[in-house]
Amino acid sequence: MLRRLVTAALLSPLAVMLSACAGGLPAGSSIAVAGDYEAKLAAWDAARRPYEAAAAAYWDAVSDKRRIRNAKRRSNETILLDDYVLEHPPVYSGPPRPVDPNAPPGPRPGEAPPIPVIADFLRHAKAQFGFVPDQPASELDFKRAYARVALASGLTREQIVGVYAFETGGNGTYDTQAGVSPKRATAISPAVGYNQMLSTNSVSMLAEHADIVLAALRRKEQTLQGEARRAMARKIEAVKRMIAYAKSVPGKWSEYDKLAKQTAGGMGIHAIVLDIDIGPVVQTQKLLNSVLFARMKGYRAPLTAPELELMNLTGDSTGLDMVTMPVEFRTQVPTSNFFQRNGYERNPVARRTGVVGKLIADIDGQMQRGAQAAGSKELAAAAN
């Protein structure tokens, strides 16, 4: 049924006559330019409408199947292959949306505003909360701090190094941000650090695990004296202000997300990932939450590094759905079953690998390659 709906929508007529100018006017005249834009817009709309109809039908089916699986889990029923959508999402192959020549400056329709970078997180943290992260004297110092906290929490050396190797390629620094490099100043995501934590993760960590963060800082405070102790006391007060702000919205991911992305305070909170006392704690807690979630859902086997990363990459519930899937299903079930439409379209790994088995194999392969890099070897040594 789904295939028929998708096919019928995509086979709708797409032919629209294009004209570079109107009424014989010169191609460069304003009237000709406007006419050309309208013709291209009509062509785009004619191609886009049937695609959107097909996509809507597909993603509705994905949501329906997900509800069926969730209901079966609650009643301890066996999940069958038929409980997944086995077709892949429709792919748009028409012309791109044309640029309106009369549009005011700014983002085009559908374009997101620029993603903030490290300098923005630091600026907002200082301005909104008086918080300046204590950044490490060296990368090795941060690796040692992270390894110490992660191992103490119960995470394994394989998990610690594997996630780092996958998320950063094996040479990431504590302040690595997705997409930013010496040759590229713009980010593709607010994800920062060894685990590539999102700004929304940082907000949720302070809102839901404030006691763990504050306890770590107070333990450190007890080891200090003089000005160093007074500086830590000031940092604790700044973090308390950040915690209060994170808790100022209802405890839902969508609310944390708006706070993190749409407010100066939310952006400032993300600077905690850069702090040598807080960054290791919240990045460890993010991974530990996945381990605890799996146990709570009855999955007792130790999570391998690729399985933990699968949950880190896609979310705990979605990731565990794939982890617990029968092996024989993995070569048949598209990765799209485990995403919302927007998330899938933003995830090149899920789209490229296509099915669950290839996604898991891809994660494992990237981990194995990344583990040979100098940064991974340094972290592995710190985790001994």
pLDDT tens digits, the chain, 384 residues: what are they?
A: 555 555 545 444 444 334 444 444 455 556 666 678 889 999 999 999 999 999 999 999 999 999 999 899 889 899 999 999 999 999 999 999 998 888 787 666 666 788 999 999 999 999 999 999 999 999 999 999 999 999 999 999 999 999 999 999 999 999 999 989 877 888 999 999 999 999 999 999 999 999 999 999 999 999 999 999 999 999 999 999 999 999 999 999 999 999 999 999 999 999 999 999 999 999 999 999 999 999 999 999 999 999 999 999 888 998 999 999 999 999 999 999 999 999 899 888 899 999 999 999 999 999 999 999 999 999 999 999
Q: What's the confidence (pLDDT) of residue 29?
A: 58
Tally: H helices and E strands in the chain: 17, 0
pLDDT at 32: 65
Q: Are 313 and 305 within 8 A, CB to CB? A: no
178: CB partners within 8 A, 6+ apart = 187, 188, 189, 190, 191, 192, 196
CA distance 125 to 134: 12
Give the CA radius of gyration of the chain.
24
Burial code of 72-103, b = ≥16 C-beta within 10 A, e = fewer? ebeeeeebeeebbbeeebbebebbeebeeeee
The Cα–Cα gap between 362 and 358 comes to 6
Beta partners for residue 339, in sequence order: none
Residue 96 in tokens: 């791109």
Q: What is the pTM of this model?
A: 0.83
- CA dist 198 and 14 (Å) reads 40
Q: Which of 63, 53, 108 is nearest to 85 (CA)?
A: 63
At 36 the pLDDT is: 85
pLDDT of residue 294: 96
Residue 252's identity, in one-letter code, is K
Cβ 279 vs Cβ 174: under 8 Å: yes
What are the distances in angstroms from CA 192 to CA 199, 272, 295, 350?
A: 8, 10, 27, 20
- Predicted local confidence at residue 4, as pLDDT: 56
Element at 148 (helix H, strand E): helix 139-153
**pLDDT value at residue 110:** 63
Q: How far apart are CA 104 and CA 293, in angstroms?
A: 48
